[in-house]
Amino acid sequence: MRNAVIILLLITCFACSKENLGIPRTPLAQESPDGHFVAFVRNHLSIDPPNQSIWIGEVSGPMTRVEKLFEDMDWCSTIAWSADSSTVAFVIRRGRLRVVDAASSKTMFNDWVVEWHGEYPPYNNIEDLTLSGDGKAARFRVRHRNDGCSDFKTIDISGNQ
């Protein structure tokens, strides 16, 4: 019986993908332009990945979890910093933008910025994201699944919460 349990455990482990095991632990990380802060995505063990959370903190200090993303539904694909290192943006599920104040870890903006009707994966995706120098505006293009990319759009992200 013991051998059967060991064999079952080995089969289960070998059947798991790296994503199921939460590997790589940190699939995406971005240091702020001034080198003071770091923002990153953390993978977690999951039967049905992705299972991620997003974090921010001082490079040499404690980290704050900004959001635990919905397992199997949400993932973070992009991190972008403002030039002055005051704000960082996370692109979640290719179409939701979450912008965080670096010093306080408080959310400044959290909303879908592409047309979205609950489809999975989203029909429209954020591409080429940049933040203004002061972190008060986001500039990006929208990639439509069948129609290519739109012109650049700029939106105010200075305080919609």
Q: What is the CATH number of the domain that holds 127?
A: 2.130.10.10
Residue 4 forms part of a structural domain? no
Residue 2 forms part of a structural domain? no
Residue 62 forms part of a structural domain? yes
Residue 1 forms part of a structural domain? no
Structure confidence at residue 147 (pLDDT): 77
Least confident of 42-51, 87-96, 112-121: 112-121
Q: What is the mean pLDDT of residues 146-156?
A: 85
- Which pTM was predicted? 0.85
Residue 83 forms part of a structural domain? yes
Contact of 153 with 139, CB cutoff 8 Å = yes
CA separation (Å) from 132 to 6, 82, 135, 155, 156? 55, 6, 5, 10, 10
Q: What angle (nearest 5°) sits at the alpha carbon of residue 143, between those of residues 142 and 145?
A: 140
Residue 119 forms part of a structural domain? yes
What are 135's two structure tokens? 């972190």
Domain around 105: 17-156
**Burial environment of residue 32 by CB neighbours within 10 A (0 to 12, 13 to 18, 19 or more):** buried
The model's pLDDT over 127-137, given as tens digits with 9 standing for 90+, comes to 999 999 999 99
Task: Say how far residue 15 (Cα) sits from the centre of its chain.
Answer: 27
The model's pLDDT over 9-51, given as tens digits with 9 standing for 90+, comes to 444 555 566 666 778 899 999 999 999 999 999 999 988 889 9
Residue 46 forms part of a structural domain? yes
**Burial environment of residue 104 by CB neighbours within 10 A (0 to 12, 13 to 18, 19 or more):** exposed
- Cα 65 from Cα 60, distance rounded (Å): 16
What are 85's two structure tokens? 């290192």
Residue 7 forms part of a structural domain? no
Domain count, the chain: 1
Q: What is the chain's mean pLDDT, rounded?
A: 87
